[in-house]
Structure 1
C-alpha cells in the first residue's frame, strides 16, 4: 500500500509540474532530432475465425515477413444501412479494433462478444502469444478496445443492442479478468448493428490515464448528434485497484456529425478527431469538469467519409484517411487546417484506406484490398525530416487478410 502511495504521489507531482509548465491550449512542441521507428505492425482479419496478423518492420521502415495468430474468437461485420447487406470493407466502423499497450496486444472479436489478449516477444515483436481464453464482454458487437498500463485496465466499446462500455483488470503475463458491467449508450441498434451511423467509434484512455473517452457517431436523420463521453478513472492510488466510473460526462458537440477516430494532442487537453460527415476537428476536454467543446472544424472538400486519424511525431501533424477516396490528408495540430494531400490512386488498388498508425519517420496505412478478392495491403509513407512525403512501399498480405481486415497498431 505504501509503495502504491509513493508511486501515486510521484506521478501526481509530475503531472502538476507538467500542467504548470504547459498552458492548456499551447501549440504542440516542435519535433527535432531522432524519433524511434516501429518494430512490428498488427491488425485483425475480422474473418469468422478471427486472427491477428503481425508484420515485421525493417530498420528502414519498410515491411518484412508477416505471420497470422488466431484470437480464438469470431469476427463479424455490421449491416450497411445503405444496402441492407453485410458491410465490406470497414465492417466494424471503428478505430481501435486492435490496441498495443506495453508488451501486450488487445483485439475485439465482434462475432462472439469477446476480447482477446496477446503478449509480444521483446526479442522478436512479430512473434506474439495468446494469453488465456478470450474474455466475455457484457455487450453486443464489440468494435473498439483500449488499455491502461498504469491501471492494468482494459475497456471495450460495443455497438449492438447492448451498446456501451465495459472494463476488466488484466495481467500482462496471464490475461484478462472478468468484465465488470456495461455502461450503456442510448443507441437504437440491433444485435448486429446497422451502420455506420449511431454506433460507437473509439474508446481511448487519456495520456495520463485518468480518463476514458469514447466517441459516438450521430444519426442526423433520427435527430441524433454525436457526442464525446468522458468516464473518470478512480482508485488507482489509495486502493491499488483502479476502476472506471459508472457515470460519465456526455458532451454533444454541435457542428459535428459522425465523430470517429481520435488521438490526444501531446501536452494539452485537446484531441484531434476525424468526423466522417465533413472532415476533422480539434476539441478540448476540461480537466476539472470533463465537459468538451469544439475548438476548430475543418471541412475536407472532396471527402466522403474521413474516419481515422493518427498523429506523427516526426511531422508534428496528423494524417487522416477515407475508405472511399484514394488519398491521404495531412492536417495541422494547431487549427486542423489542411497542410498537404497525397493522391494514392497509383499505389492502392482499393478505393481508400481503413486505418492508419504512425511510428518514427513513417506512417502506415491499411487498405482492405479490392472487391476482386486480392489481399489487403499496407502502404508505407515516408515523412522523415527534409524528405518529400511519398509512399515507398505497398505491402500485399496475400492470403493472410482480405477486405474484412480492421485496425492497425504499432509496437512499441
Structure 2
C-alpha cells in the first residue's frame, strides 16, 4: 500500500491539491500536569482468530506485558489495489477498529461481520470479559467503531458490498441488535479493494450529538470522497425511548481534500481535524446543518500517506502518523500548521499506523511489514517537547503486520 500512496501525490498535484507548505508555525502550548494518567492501551491482532491485546501503562507512561483476549470473531484484510494481495500493514484501511467508552471496550471483526463488547476490570485493566454474544453487523467488512457513553450508543462503519453505518444501544448486559444499515453505496467488493473508495473512520462529535464518517476518494477518478454526518436522536426528557441515530444524512466533499482518512473532533468546538493521505492534515469547519468545509490545510513535506490522528488533551495539538515514514508530526488544531516533526527511524520501524493519546503520552502502533517486529512506540509530549521513551516489542502476543487500531483507558 505505501507504493500506491506515493502515487497519490501525482494525482493530487493534477487536481491542484498539493500546495506550498506555507502555514506559519505555532509554539506548543504549555503542558499541564498529567493528573490521572492512562491505565492501559489496546489494539487488535486482526488475525483469523481475532483478539484484543491489552497492555498496562506504568506511572511513567511505559508499557509492560499484558493479556491477549479472543473476540470470538475473525479478522481479515482488504485487497491492495496495487498488488492484488491482502493489504498489510493497515489491513483494514481504517482508524479506530476498536474503542473504549467508560469501562467498556468494543472491537470489530471484519472477517465475520460482527462486533464484540467487553467489560474492563476496574482492578486490572488488562482483564477483559466478553458481554453476551458478538452482535451481527448488517453491513459487510466492519472496519471502524465509535461509542458514545452519553447516549449509550455504539456505531459501526462497514466498507464491503454493503457499506454504511449501523448502530445499537449498549448496557452492562451487552449489545442490542444493530439497526438497519444507512448505506454509502460505494460499489465495493467482499473483501473491499483499497485503499481508495473505502470507509476510513467513524466517530462522534465532541458533544456526542453527531456521528461522522470519513470516506476516501479516488484521485485518479477525480473523486474526492466525503464526510458523512448523522445526528443523534436523544432520549426523551420524560424517559421512554433510548437514544438512536437519525437516518437523515448530510454528506459533503470539502474542496481541497482527496483521500480523507483518520479524524478527531476538536474539543470545545464543532470543527474536525482530519488527515488526508494525499497531503497531510486539515481543519474542517462544520456548520449547523453538519456540512463540512475546508478551513485550514497543512501540507507535510516528504510524506507517503498521512492517515491517522489523535489530539492530546495536554498539548491541545494534533499528532499524525504515516504508514511508510517513521516519524510523529505535531500540527496545530487551529490552522493545521506543522509545529514539530520527530524522527523515529532509529528504532527500526517502517512507519506508524493508528495511535492514541493519554495524559502526557502518545501511543502509536508500528504494525511492521512482516520483516520487522510489531511494536508500540511511546512518546512523551509534555513540556513542549516530543521524545520517544519506549519502543515496546509486542510480537510475543502473536500480533503481526495485520494488527489494527489503538485506544486507551484513562
TM-score after normalising by structure 1: 0.90
Residue 384 of structure 1 is matched in structure 2 by 382
In angstroms, what is the RMSD of aligned CA positions?
A: 1.5
What's the secondary structure of 2:396's corresponding residue?
helix
1:213 and 2:208 matched: no
Secondary structure of the corresponding residue to residue 73 of structure 2: strand
Contact in 2 for aligned 1:259/1:274 (Cα 8 Å): yes
Task: Specify the alignment match of 1:248 in structure 2.
Answer: 249
Cα 1:235–1:357 change in 2 (3 A) is: closer
Structure 2: distance between partners of 1:229 and 1:366: 27
1: CA distance, partners of 2:205 / 2:46: 27
Per the TM alignment, residue 71 of structure 1 is displaced from its structure 2 partner at its CA by: 0.1
Displacement, 1:384? 1.7
- Match of residue 24 from structure 1: none
CA distance in 2, matches of 1:410, 1:41: 4
1:233 aligned residue: 232
Shift of 1:30: 7.0
The residue that corresponds to 2:8 in the other structure is none
Q: Which residue of structure 1 aligns with residue 318 of structure 2?
A: 318
Say whether residues 1:298 and 2:298 are aligned partners.
yes
2:395 maps to 1:398: yes
Counterpart of 1:265 in structure 2 is 266
Deviation at residue 86 of structure 1 after TM alignment: 0.5
Distance 2:359 2:34 in 1: 8
Shift of 1:407: 0.2
* Paired positions, count: 380
Please say if residues 35 and 361 of structure 1, whose CA atoms lie closer than 8 Å, have aligned partners that are also in contact.
no
Which residue of structure 1 aligns with residue 143 of structure 2?
A: 143
The runs of at least 4 aligned residues of structure 1 exceeding 6 Å deviation read none
TM-score by length of 2: 0.90
1:221 Cα deviation (Å)? 2.2
CA contact (8 A) 1:164 1:182 kept: yes
The answer (yes or no) to whether the contact 2:376–2:393 under 8 Å persists in 1 is: yes
What do residues 245-268 of structure 1 show as CA deviations (whole Å, max 9, x unaligned)? 112000111110111111111111
SS of the residue corresponding to residue 55 of structure 1 reads strand
1:360 maps to 2:352: no
Query: Residue 31 of structure 1: CA displacement?
Result: 5.4
Shift in Å at residue 314 of structure 1? 1.8
Pairs within 5 Å for 1:53-202: 53-171=53-171, 173-202=172-201
Note if contact 1:314-1:385 (Cα within 8 Å) is conserved in structure 2.
Answer: no
Structure 1 gaps of 5+ residues are 1-27
Q: CA deviation at 1:56?
A: 0.3
Task: Indicate whether 1:329 and 2:326 are aligned.
Answer: no
CA deviations on 1:101-155 (whole Å, 9 max, x unpaired) are 0100000000010010110011111111111111000011000000111211110
Q: CA deviation at 1:367?
A: 0.4
Q: CA, structure 1 residues 76+34, in 2 after alignment: closer, same or farther (shift >3 Å)? A: closer
Q: Quick one: distance in 2 between partners of 1:344 and 1:35? A: 27
Counterpart Cα distance in 1 of 2:122 and 2:47: 27
| Cα distance in 2, alignment partners of residues 226 and 30 from structure 1 | 36
Contact conserved, 1:35 with 1:313, CA < 8 A, in 2?
A: no
- 1:11 matched to which residue of 2? none
